[in-house]
A and B are shown apart, each in its own frame.
Chain A
Amino acid sequence: MGNLETDAAAPFEQSYATTNGNGKPANPAMEEEEDHETLMQRKFSAPAYTEIKTRKNAAKVSSAHRLKNIANGGYHPAKQLHLNGHAKTAVSDREFKSSQADGVLSPEQEHYQKSSFEEVPLHTACLTYLGFYLLMILGYINQLLFVPKVAKEKGRDGYVALYDAFESFYSRYVYRRIRDCWNRPICSVPGDELTLKDRVTNDYGWSFKFTGTQTRCLNLGSYNYLGFASSTGTCADNSEATARQLGLAYCSSRSELGETQLLADLERQTARYFGVEDAIVFGMGFATNALNLPSLLSPGCLVVSDEKNHASIILGLRLSGATIKVFKHNNMRDLDRVLRQAVVYGNPKAGGKPWKKIMIIVEGVFSMEGSIVRLPEVIALKKKYKAYLYLDEAHSVGAMGPNGGGVTDYFRADAKDVDILMGTFTKSFGSAGGYIAGSKKLIDFLRANSHAHCYASSISPPIAQQIYTSMRIIMGEDGTDIGRQKINQLARNARYFRKRLAQIGVITYGHEDSPVVPMLVYLFSKIGAVVRTLTTRHIAVVGAGFPATPIMEGRIRFCLSAAHTKEQLDYALDVIDEISDDFGLKYSRKPKDLNPIEY
């Protein structure tokens, strides 16, 4: 059945087999027996994860056959020995061509053409709801019959219960069933691959024990977009040197004794990166949102916020006391409607007086949706209604645009049209922290009023150094084109992976150029099944379900990285193809492009 696509891709895999970089002779026929052997052993090394088998699947092909099939690609996470990080480059000399700004389509048409979205099939929706309620009912019965194995509060008899009953019920009886799919400990660099520290549960997820074994997995879960997570190479070397020179911390806030040349340089570099006047950096991305929004907004201001905005933004807005209106995710018509009403009718609490300020808050790439903000249209609306624009580029800085400049770069928009450019250093830069960039007036205001600048501790020197070095590499100021190669590699990986997924027939959300790829599995239990099964195949992915997503839209999220090679992606895609047959994930009813996808 599902072999059509695999076959089609075979000539490509072979052509790559000679350059697969693991130093093994590219002679699959000779190695077949051994491959199979070692793979089976490897699987044994991961006793913590159980492959979920459907009857159909068991009857169809033996597991040995399947493994052989996939091993043909030449890559397997458990066999690879190469070092992590960007020492390894697998970029062909062909420059990646962006299809942006062809100038033929309106931004709106272009958006729809490039975004994938499909309505959930009706019977799947019904099943999902049913499945979910079934889980709840089972949980309820479970709660009636068995005493939960959870700690009780001691010495607080007669106190008002500390937790909301539904919340505890949900986490005990629904979430617990697939709890092993999150918070999995790793013991390596979160690079293109990672090493899981295996754990098992003998009591259905109440508790875990380590088995002492480890499993090497292809990493499709970390936010390592440009592949800067590395324990070797320039970045790590520089960070270590800085740690030795300046120590690990300042034990002070920026405004007392935490100001250094390194941070001043980093701020200047950040401003240059975006082509704006000034920038300010903080030690944590979450705090950048939560502790700066309150100084920019006050009661009497209106915030028009995308419904899928990140928790840190929502917390910042809550602390600011501003009025919040939500518009539908990336829906420009709805944004227009909300803005129009706001400007025309003013603040109802103040008798219709005009709002002091109106601020639109959006993200560059939405981490659960995989969508890219429709920036040109947002900028047009912002200008029309004289609103201010706050853009959170946590997932897009570095990862989007021909120069890694984020969505403004991607859409070739003027960065100065965005009033507040916010982002984090946690993802593409492989470090930690956040920044805000913009006009000098804005940044000076923040230096004088930002909660984080005044009270929170200054960035640790090696962490700041990692940002500085990686930023210079992305900008090409280190004298190499490693940065550009990484950007190209990521862009190609994203496109290729999405196209192949579409060919496989699963439903994905989001924009074709977005490195975050959510694959819809809908049912709550399928999240667990897919994550676990992929782990047995040495692929680490992230699942997301209620309450992070709507009940109906359970999903698996892949995060692509410039560190991934085509062989790695092919390996993952072949496995996904196969398991989506087993699990019935091929929900898509769109016509498939049967031609081989060009990398």
Chain B
Amino acid sequence: MVAIQLFNEIGSIFLNTPTFALVLEALLLLSVIWLVLHKRGSGRRRYTKEEEDYLIEQYEPEPLVTETDPGHPLLRKRLVQSRVGKQIVVDGHDCLNLGSHNYLGLLEDETILEDACKSLRKYGVGSCGPRGFYGTMDVHLELEDRIAKFMGLEEAIVYSYGFSTVASAIPAYAKRGDIVFVDESVNFAIQKGLDASRSTIMFFKHNDVNDLERLLAEQEKRDQKNPKKAAKTRRFLVVEGIYLNTGEICPLPELVELRKKYKLRMFVDESVSFGTLGKTGHGVTEHFNVDLDEIDLISASMEGAMATIGGFCVGSHFIAEHQRLSGLGYIFSASLPPMLAQAAISALDRFEREPKIFAELQEKARLVQQKFGLFSKLILRGNELSPVKHLYLSQSLGENFEAERKLLTEVADKCISRGVAVVEAAYLQNIERKPVRPSLRIAVSRLLDEADVVRAYDIIESVSNEVL
């Protein structure tokens, strides 16, 4: 019965359809069949088994890795032979430390060390599992709570490695088809996060708000042409508080204006600026007195001012919570060893107990800025408040970065043998988005005093005069 009805139905459909539509559909069907068969048939010639075996025999892959030059700069090691602090023993030389990113000098804080050791005696060393699977200890929750409270935001999320923090946070939100506007000098971890997101990336000139606005205006024109697509495209703005690669502070208020005007969501990586900028160490937002609501997500590593391992993201509940189900480095990796989480909590204790350390650090940063601006063969770059500064050759060798790096390495080596630890910043030049100009990266520590800075200046000045 049903079959007959169905047959009638189909028959009537055929009768009622105009002929041209039938022809068109038949053609369509044919072309689909042709396409399918065509792809099978001609795109790939079929081989016989013998031919295949012959091809397999003939296949010669490239070697797994190329030979590495034994003189490669990253192969040579500078051995650190002491606990890191204001002083450091490198390759047997006791040096004043201008290379470790121990801005506040918390590596030498005995209370933090004691707390961490106590924690070791309670939890053991490793956490033996990711956060989801019994790797969440009460210290992790306390740390997240404390960071959120410290920043005055709703929620924080802790990662077990600084690099993976921002590199996981970006692709948790930005996906294929989205647009991310990024400062061209962002650090490598951010670059990898952007790669992983597969979004469209638009780089604007370093700290150049006009260039950003130009890009945004161009994008707006494109959007007007295709409003449907625009309605589905999320837009992000990613900047650093203090740029690790330049030592400059981002022009936050202007960026926030653009963020509002063009409806962007804004991520700020405060790996350097957290715990160093602002009166109470809250970072770049405090420095510029910008309302935290203007920023969607703040991320930072705890491997700088906090002097431990790991990183965190902090923001509103709506934003931060999302990473617990989609931050790859959060879900799929063991949680931070509890003793290091404890060290971060104790560092926050110190932040809150002794807020004058931030002013002290900023004063030292200013001091170094004044003094190190006077080198005759090196030029200084970086904001006066930034604990990270770069020294470049004042006589640029043009595009020959390799030669510049060699000279700087020589300067660093000689400085170390004379008692000042400075190092050239390490980059994988061929993998960076754009080659980065070689420099000596100076990390200012709160514990330096004026005499130290003068001594460091004298040694670097005399070495650079010898070498350059």
Q: How far is the CA of A244 from the CA of B83 in the complex (A)?
A: 9
| B241 close to A (CB within 8 Å) | no
Q: A256-B99, A454-B427 known; A249 and B124 CB under 8 Å?
A: no
| A318 close to B (CB within 8 Å) | yes
Q: A241 → chain B, closest Cβ, in Å?
A: 10
Partner of A319, one of B62, B195, B425: B195
Whether the Cβ atoms of A187 and B137 lie closer than 8 Å is: yes
Q: Give the interface segment out of A104-112, A120-128, A427-435, A480-488.
A: A427-435
Q: How far is the CA of A355 from the CA of B65 in the complex (A)?
A: 15
Whether the Cβ atoms of B120 and A462 lie closer than 8 Å is: yes
Mark contacts of B121-156 with chain A using CB atoms, 8 A cut-off: 1 yes-contact digit, 0 otherwise.
111111111011111111011000000000000100
Whether the Cβ atoms of B127 and A191 lie closer than 8 Å is: no
A-B contact count (CB 8 A): 367
Closest to B192 in A: A319
| B189 close to A (CB within 8 Å) | yes
Partner of B75, one of A249, A286, A444: A444
**Which range contains the number of B residues in contact with the other chain?**
35 or more
Whether the Cβ atoms of B117 and A244 lie closer than 8 Å is: yes
Whether the Cβ atoms of B333 and A285 lie closer than 8 Å is: yes
Whether the Cβ atoms of A184 and B164 lie closer than 8 Å is: no
Mark contacts of B402-443 with chain A using CB atoms, 8 A cut-off: 1 yes-contact digit, 0 otherwise.
000000000000000000010101111001000000000101
| B23 close to A (CB within 8 Å) | no
Q: Which residues of chain A are within 8 angstroms of B331 by Cβ–Cβ distance?
A: 311
Closest to A190 in B: B128
Closest to A261 in B: B79
Whether the Cβ atoms of B126 and A454 lie closer than 8 Å is: no
**Which of A223, A235, A249, A348 has the most CB atoms of chain B within a 10 A radius of its CB?**
A249
| A457 close to B (CB within 8 Å) | yes
Q: How far is the CA of A287 from the CA of B97 in the complex (A)?
A: 28
Q: Which residues of chain B are within 8 angstroms of A245 by Cβ–Cβ distance?
A: 83
Q: Give the interface segment out of A396-404, A445-453, A471-479, A564-572.
A: A445-453
Q: A256-B426, A260-B80 known; A358 and B134 CB under 8 Å?
A: no
Closest to B77 in A: A259
Q: B11 → chain A, closest Cβ, in Å?
A: 37
Whether the Cβ atoms of A251 and B102 lie closer than 8 Å is: yes
Whether the Cβ atoms of A191 and B124 lie closer than 8 Å is: yes
Q: How far is the CA of A150 from the CA of B55 in the complex (A)?
A: 59
Partner of A311, one of B44, B55, B322, B332: B332
Q: Which residues of chain A are within 8 angstroms of B303 by Cβ–Cβ distance?
A: 249, 251, 457
| B205 close to A (CB within 8 Å) | no
Q: Which residues of chain A are within 8 angstroms of B423 by Cβ–Cβ distance?
A: 256-257
Whether the Cβ atoms of B61 and A311 lie closer than 8 Å is: no
| B274 close to A (CB within 8 Å) | no
Q: A229-B126, A358-B61 known; A455 and B329 CB under 8 Å?
A: no
| A160 close to B (CB within 8 Å) | yes
Q: How far is the CA of A442 from the CA of B235 in the complex (A)?
A: 40
Whether the Cβ atoms of A252 and B56 lie closer than 8 Å is: no
Mark contacts of A422-444 with chain B using CB atoms, 8 A cut-off: 1 yes-contact digit, 0 otherwise.
00111101111000000001101
Partner of B263, one of A159, A175, A189: A159
Q: B367 → chain A, closest Cβ, in Å?
A: 20
| B466 close to A (CB within 8 Å) | no
| B52 close to A (CB within 8 Å) | yes
Q: Which residues of chain B are within 8 angstroms of A419 by Cβ–Cβ distance?
A: 64
Q: A162-B265, A386-B61, A457-B162 known; A311 and B125 CB under 8 Å?
A: no
Whether the Cβ atoms of B328 and A257 lie closer than 8 Å is: no
Partner of A259, one of B66, B80, B164: B80
Q: A221 → chain B, closest Cβ, in Å?
A: 5
Q: A158 → chain B, closest Cβ, in Å?
A: 6
Whether the Cβ atoms of A441 and B68 lie closer than 8 Å is: yes
Q: Which residues of A contact B (CB under 8 A)?
A: 84-85, 150-156, 158-164, 167, 171, 175, 182-191, 194, 197, 219, 221-224, 228-232, 235-236, 239-240, 243-253, 255-261, 264, 283-287, 290-291, 294-296, 310-312, 315, 318-319, 340, 343-345, 348, 352, 354-358, 384-388, 419-420, 424-427, 429-432, 441-442, 444-449, 451-457, 460, 462-463, 466, 540, 542
Pairs across A and B, CB under 8 Å, 10 listed: A150-B318, A243-B113, A355-B61, A384-B56, A426-B128, A431-B126, A432-B127, A442-B65, A460-B309, A542-B133
Contacts A162-B322, A222-B134, A348-B44 known; 10 new A-B pairs at CB < 8 A:
A156-B296, A183-B131, A185-B136, A221-B133, A249-B84, A252-B100, A256-B425, A318-B196, A357-B64, A451-B431
Q: Which residues of B contact A (CB under 8 A)?
A: 43-44, 47, 52, 55-56, 59-62, 64-70, 72, 74-75, 77-85, 88, 90, 97, 99-102, 107-108, 112-113, 116-117, 120-129, 131-138, 140-141, 154, 160-164, 167, 173, 175, 187-189, 192, 195-196, 198, 231-235, 263, 265, 293, 296, 301, 303-304, 307-309, 316-319, 321-322, 324-326, 328-329, 331-334, 336-337, 339-340, 343, 421, 423, 425-428, 431, 441, 443
